[in-house]
Structure 1
């Protein structure tokens, strides 16, 4: 018997079913999703506006912070509105083009964030280890070039995924058991060899996200070495407190991702809906928490935000 010919079948519309096995709870699940998304949008929008309006915050650290807030918005907005439309309206259809656009921006933002965190770690390293040369080295022009390199690197890393996905024939099923489109989830539906997709999907987090993490750890190792060489205990505590917000945000980005990968690789018996919920929380929690962490731990941000709502309130 000859092999079936799949070349005559192609899907232009895919069905995103949401969280398998929990369809009856979609409305209840949508409530925390919606609340977290609203907090993320309001918090990051406020952070971007404060940095843009306040001239005293036009410094490299706050420029990078506003970039992080913007890509937090891109990351969460690329997923949550569609997920809420599935939960509330049962709007499960998505075009192939829409699916590719969604996965592109999600992966783009995912690779952008560690790049921005690395740029912020480099800023902290220069400010603490080379304080006399800091303003000369990290000028506005250099800051803009660093931001441009981060954006270009992320784009160049993720854009090939669009071609890898568009070249695949889809003729087995058009049902995506998830709340959003992502590269490997879509590639696994193809009736073709996806070896290149698998290897590219592995190499991207290893060569970009994890490499950034290693470089960030090295940067903070050098920062700690410089801090503990300071003679004054008060100076040590002051420097460490200025790094506190950045360290919290780094942990907020990497720890959920590492936990998700470990759960997927080493706990195959965990139900699929648990993996999907973890993936959604990974997209939602960091964008929601980042502006809160910086608002609380960064005095200058806190002061400007409180001036908007209550001029009489003073930050610690």
Structure 2
């Protein structure tokens, strides 16, 4: 007798979670598709978590045939109906140790945006900066994964998993107070300058930020004086290179690790400080290569006649 396998079995849901996770981490961090795929991956991680206990936890109880289906006895026409995503995470909240109201709210916030994206004409994920949700997303994933006996690295890979761990490290209370005090101090000091001094410092600082803007950095407004400052970080991952309009293009995902304002002197020196000052998240930089440079080919060394066979042997 063939063993019945429901569509809510753990292996199937875990596999789908992995598919959507890979789609997510291959996207630019500024793309609306990044949070979209993350939302789908998160839902399937939640469903896989409940299925690990028993697939019946995913059956919509309003119709008995959905429960019978899990045990291979349903004779209902059409596919079985599962519980809504909101119910999935509500059950995780009641079942999974460490999955608190904070994680529940973070998951529902992302799922609500996904629903808005799929069921309305609005672009729910447009301009949805990673600093507003990514750390909470990774934290929820970590708790669910640990319940399953897995790590962030298992699902997201070594480099992305390591960056995720760094992003969700608990912010120390003393550090929180120190950063907020520093912001207040530099903002007050800049505000006390004359208009002429402010204008001069803003111009000089913005020019210096642009001068130091290179690979692994991004121009961001200073929280203290609103000048152009420099956000710098380390590479988390690199996308597959693609040939587009004659150029070879790939993207690097950057985890911010420092911020410098050359106008007022405000500085942040690690990711936890950046999170407190609302500079957390990740950003993407695009790298464009000429094919000859990318492959190390010097076109000056090639005789055009060598590229053709004129049949003069």
Normalised-by-shorter TM-score class: under 0.3
Whose helix proportion is higher, 1 or 2? 1
TM-score normalised to the size of structure 2? Answer: 0.25
Query: Looking at CA atoms only, which structure, 1 or 2, has the larger radius of gyration?
Result: 2
Whose strand proportion is higher, 1 or 2? 2
